[in-house]
Chain A
């Protein structure tokens, strides 16, 4: 199953990117090779003067909308640019794209040779006019295969993200594995396990009642419910390692592991702190209003997950390979 989902994500992503890029080649949303009428303003002195200076590319929202065939952004565009004149007299504009730049330019900058920069050339050198602004015609660097380039970049970026996430785990992993060793040696895990035995025997009938895996799983679920994700992940991994000691077929998931992960992916949490923080930042009158609804939602997810794990483990395609011999 994981094999198919995994290859589907990759294949669907690449096909969607290819399809989108081919559509762009036909409809040309970036107006490759065409010239846009705008006004160039210099922040320093009259135009053109020095070999390199800063300024603004100014155009009305109607000009922008008509050129790209987009709905009008509402306000006039005043885009910071870096103006460069070569010895041969050609003038290049380097648009410094940021969050406030128009949407289409941000998309184009993402695919441009230099990230966050969009280069344009002036079709004609601006004539000297009164003051520090001049009408210009700009054609931007051609943009092709935006999505395929983004897919390539994402593959590389996410590979290194995965490594930095894993390396970032080393410290907390070591801390919690150390604490759990002490807890085990001191008999604390045994106490926790005994208290919750009726519940855990129901959920994990295969696990011996006083096995350290139970204590680690309970600590992990507790940390998750309190939103202590820094502690929850190492405790969950510790629980998986303990469960794996009972695994007759290394490399294959056991029933108890899947039930444990069902509880984990249900994501039951008493205070959904991230969602509340985002709501508060967005100016909500009552950011905490989602506590009850989230607990209800996550509770349903957890119950459904546990029930599904209990049902699916009996189905033939998902059976433990060693169980098949018994029929």
Chain B
């Protein structure tokens, strides 16, 4: 059943974009839209939007880069680990949980390393990969999406993102402990 679900989703993921292109553009022709002209007119915005993101992304990624290179993660890990260990999170996976909202490549590296050391099917390996799948790179998403529309006052967006990340990590810990311990 799970295999069938996976196979089905894989097929959908492969055909989704070609299908969307055909249906959208084809529907446009049926509705007598000047598809080429309208497409080009819309696509014109792509350059300006991408350029607008640059200062936001530079600010965000430089701060994250400094944090990653400094070894501050180890410091933060030793500070937080008494709490998370009490919640059932193996201390080895804590850097993963802390890095996940900050950096996609950083958390990918930590996940790969944990699997190399502990094995992909160990409790730590399953938990690390579940954590990776349980959240997005919050800081990157905020920088790109708010950057694209020039939002500087983000109001409650960051606390909301962090609450979502904490909830995702705790849920990952709980469900993996429940199913695989």
Query: Which A residues contact B (CB, under 8 angstroms)?
Result: 1-2, 5-6, 9-10, 12-17, 20, 147, 150-151, 153-155, 157-159, 161-163, 165-167, 169-175, 177-183, 185-188, 223, 226-228, 231, 233-234, 236-237, 240-241, 243-244, 247, 250-253, 257-258, 261-262, 264-267, 269-276, 278-279, 282-305, 308-309, 312-313, 315, 318, 320
- Collect the chain B residues with CB atoms within 8 Å of residue A275's CB: 111, 129-130, 132-133
With A1-B159, A279-B129, A290-B133 as known contacts, state yes or no: A174 contacts B165, CB within 8 Å: no
Q: Are A278 and B108 in contact (CB under 8 A)?
A: yes
Q: Is B66 touching A2 in the complex (CB atoms < 8 A)?
A: no
For A305, give its contact among B2, B12, B21, B164 (CB under 8 Å).
Answer: B164
A285-B121, A293-B179 as given contacts; A308 in contact with B159, CB under 8 Å: yes
- A158 CA / B47 CA spacing, docked (Å): 21
CB neighbors of A among B4-48 (8 A): 6, 9-10, 12-13, 16-17, 20-21, 23-25, 27-28, 30-31, 33, 35, 38-47
Q: How large is the interface on B (under 10, 10 to 19, 20 to 34, 35 or more residues)?
A: 35 or more
Establish whether residues A320 and B171, one from each chain, have CB atoms under 8 Å apart when the complex forms. Answer: no
- Taking Cβ atoms with an 8 Å cutoff, the residues of B that contact A are 2-3, 6, 9-10, 12-13, 16-17, 20-21, 23-25, 27-28, 30-31, 33, 35, 38-47, 49-51, 53-54, 57-72, 74-76, 101-102, 108, 111-112, 115-116, 119-121, 125-126, 129-136, 138, 141-142, 144-146, 148-161, 163-172, 175-176, 179
Measured in the bound complex, the distance between the Cα atoms of B43 and A254 in whole Å is 26
Question: Given A12, A247, A304, which contacts B164 in the complex, CB threshold below 8 Å?
Answer: A304
A308 and B24 contact, Cβ closer than 8 Å, known pairs A161-B61, A162-B62: no
A150 neighbours in B (Cβ, 8 Å):
69-70
Interface contact A182-B66, CB-CB below 8 Å = no
B97 → chain A closest CB, angstroms: 11
Contact B72 A16 (CB under 8 A): yes
Docked CA distance A320–B69 (Å): 36
Distance in angstroms from A158 CB to nearest chain B CB is 3
* Minimum C-beta distance from A162 to chain B (A): 4
Q: Closest residue of chain B to A312, judged by CB?
A: B156
Given known contacts A17-B69, A171-B46, A296-B175, is B161 in contact with A237 (CB within 8 Å)?
Answer: no
Report whether over half of chain A's contact residues are helix, strand or loop; otherwise say mixed: helix
Majority SS at the chain B contact face:
helix
Residues of A within 8 Å of B3, CB to CB, are: 288
Closest partner residue, chain B, to A287 (CB atom) = B120
Given A154-B65, A181-B39, A265-B141: A298 and B72 interface contact (C-beta under 8 Å): no
- Interface pair B24/A261, CB less than 8 Å apart: no
CB distance from A67 to the nearest CB of B (A): 23
Can you show 12 pairs from A to B with CB atoms below 8 A apart?
A2-B154, A147-B69, A162-B57, A175-B43, A186-B30, A226-B12, A227-B13, A282-B120, A291-B6, A292-B2, A301-B167, A305-B160
CB < 8 Å: which of B49, B66, B164 contacts A301? B164
Q: Name the CB-closest residue of A to B165.
A: A301
- Residue numbers in B under 8 Å from A180 (CB-CB): 42
Interface centre among A181, A234, A264, by most B CB within 10 Å? A181
Q: Kindly provide the distance from the CB of A262 to the nearest chain B CB, expressed in whole angstroms.
A: 5
In the complex, which of the residues B31, B111, B156, B165 contacts A313, with contact meaning CB atoms closer than 8 Å? B156
Most chain B beta-carbon contacts within 10 A, residue among A234, A244, A282: A282
- Once the chains are docked, how many angstroms separate the CA of A251 from the CA of B142? 14
Cβ-neighbour of B33 out of A186, A290, A315 (below 8 A): A186
- The answer to whether A181 and B41 have CB atoms under 8 Å apart is yes
A154 is contacted by which of B35, B68, B150, B175 (Cβ under 8 Å)? B68
